[in-house]
Amino acid sequence: MPQQLKKVVKQDLKQTIVETGRFMISRGLTVGTWGNVSLRDPDTGLIYISPSGMDYEEIQAEDVVVLNSQIELVDGCRVPSVERGMHVSVYNARPDVNAVVHTHPLYSTVLGVNHMELPGISEDFAQIVADKIICSEYALPGTMDLAENVVEALGERNAVLLPNHGTLCVGETMKYALTVCHVVEKTAHIYIMAKSIGTPHLISDEDIKAMQYFARNVYGQR
């Protein structure tokens, strides 16, 4: 690796990937070695991604792989996640996104298996995820067809369901992307339970837009 690139590879960002993988396992957002996580350094545009097929409890900072926006290796000795094309494609399509978390959770995967949408039935979902999230077209894991399908179905939302596969969530930061993961999975659980006993009442488009404005411009410390 050229000396100038060595200087811009950041160990703290590698450590964030390590910690995120372990957090994902501890919270039941995936099992085994499935799923993958990445972040983009907004200063350099370099992308840090988890290695392929390694136990999250065993991954160390030196195992994290660094790529550029053309999916070319910049740093690392491991094979990067097979879904590297999907991650990089999301970053290339969404300049507002600096973290991508692909999970294999329970309830949102149930919706994906049925090729269903998840509507904005809860206020937290409406505020930080979208009015709804949709299911992408199916494609085999690790293919550029999957990457293209995911980017198309994600659009400007912060999550997308991968049919018969899992969920992908994004955010400006890794903390935000993980929050999206939790909110999506919680909302999927609520939606499935609500449908089992009745007909869920949806939040109006007007109220969703009002809540999204509130979350962006009013809520929290300014």
Average pLDDT over residues 110-135: 96
Query: Which amino acid, residue 74?
Result: V
Q: Is the pLDDT of residue 210 over 70?
A: yes
- Nearest by Cα to 180 from 127, 135, 136: 127
Lowest mean pLDDT, pick from 19-33, 80-94, 141-155, 208-222: 208-222
Average pLDDT over residues 90-104: 98
The pTM assigned to this predicted structure is 0.94
pLDDT attached to residue 168: 98
Q: Is the pLDDT of residue 6 over 70?
A: no
156 is catalytic: no
Q: pLDDT tens digits, residue range 35-85?
A: 999 999 999 999 999 999 999 999 999 999 999 999 999 999 999 999 999
pLDDT attached to residue 216: 83
Higher-confidence residue of 1 and 158: namely 158
> For the residues of 22-68, what is the DSSP string, one character each?
HHHHHTTS--TT--EEEEE-TTT--EEEPBTT--TTT--GGG-EEE-
Q: Which of 62, 72, 83, 123 is catalytic?
A: 83
Average pLDDT over residues 181-209: 95
Confidence class for position 215, pLDDT limits 50, 70, 90: confident
Pairing mode of beta strands 99-103, 73-75:
unpaired
Query: Are 77 and 107 in contact, with CB atoms under 8 Å apart?
Result: no
Residue 147's SS3 state is: helix
Q: Is the pLDDT of residue 161 over 70?
A: yes
Q: What is the DSSP letter of 162?
A: E
